Amino acid sequence: MTEQLRLMAVHAHPDDESSKGAATMAKYVSEGVDVLVATCTGGERGSILNPKLQGDPYIEKNIHEVRAKEMAEARDILGVKQEWLGFVDSGLPEGDPLPPLPEGCFALQDVDEAAGRLVKLIREFRPHVVTTYDENGGYPHPDHIMTHKISMVAFEAAGDASRYPEAGEPWQPLKLYYNQGFNRPRTQALHEALLERGMESPYGEWLERWHTMGRERTLTTYVPCGDFFEIRDKALIAHATQIDPDGGWFRVPLDLQREIWPTEEYELAKSVVGTSLPEDDLFAGIRNN
């Protein structure tokens, strides 16, 4: 292709872009790809997960503003563009029975109506590739599942002039992927490598309960991006309310990660171009067309 390649990553909350596919995005930015993160909600109902910041009255009162600033810092670290779709965080319902979702939240929106905002952004940015979550949301947070739903509608509708005519000139993305960076083969490989080296693994419990986490996904695409793992981690740490820099997320040395599993994984969900699986590039079948 003679035009600049464009990638759109659709995420539910600020911080999701840094924990799912961040090294991939940084790699493509380094290659001159135009990358845009579409963030569905502001993360207003997210818990403060960093124990060092829990109980801070300013953060608790101004969580929306704080998370927006964190997103801006992470965006700059990754070198990506970013747009807010403007929906309100649904929160993660807990308890038995589960409480109802809060009125007006993202997960309670009409899917077709909500997808219109994403269609508009797709038609403005004109991505060749879109990444999002699978039908389980990656994990069953209501906002992640809703992100999947509007992404599927928008991918199909963006190129159809008869749908959402108010959203701009039609544009058909060529490929749609599900983020699958949290997969069993990767987790097992890193777990075993840590134990072989006499190190503690943070993955033991994950592997023990993996059978309860739904069906195994089909990994179709392995993007080599080990050189960008450090940028990924810096972006994630920028979301200070959401991640403990001393926590389990960072217990696996980067050199070991690069040696054992230097890729991020995706599941090709839709493609209107020919490609051969497995792939090592989200733009396979597009670059040479």
Contact 266/133 with Cβ under 8 angstroms?
A: no
Residue 111 CB coordination number (10 Å): 11
Residue 210 CB coordination number (10 Å): 15
Alpha-carbon distance 232 to 35, whole Å? 15
Closest to 84 (Cα-Cα) out of 118, 114, 129? 118
Contact 134/180 with Cβ under 8 angstroms?
A: yes
The verdict on whether residue 141 carries a ligand-binding annotation is no
Q: Which helix (H) or strand (E) holds 262?
A: none
The verdict on whether residue 76 carries a ligand-binding annotation is no
User: Could you identify the residue written with the tokens 């929906």?
Assistant: 87
CB proximity list for 278: less than 8 A, separation 6 or greater: 219, 220, 221, 222
Contact 5/128 with Cβ under 8 angstroms?
A: yes
CB proximity list for 158: less than 8 A, separation 6 or greater: 119, 122, 123, 164, 170, 171, 172, 173
Q: To 5 degrees, how large is the angle CA 28–CA 262–CA 285?
A: 45
The tokens describing 209, both together, are 């309960």
Long-range pairs for 233-237 at CB < 8 Å and ≥24 separation? 234/77, 235/17, 235/18, 235/22, 235/26, 235/74, 235/77, 235/78, 236/15, 236/18, 236/19, 236/22, 236/74
The verdict on whether residue 13 carries a ligand-binding annotation is yes
- The binding site consists of 13, 16, 144
- The binding site for Zn(2+) consists of 13, 16, 144
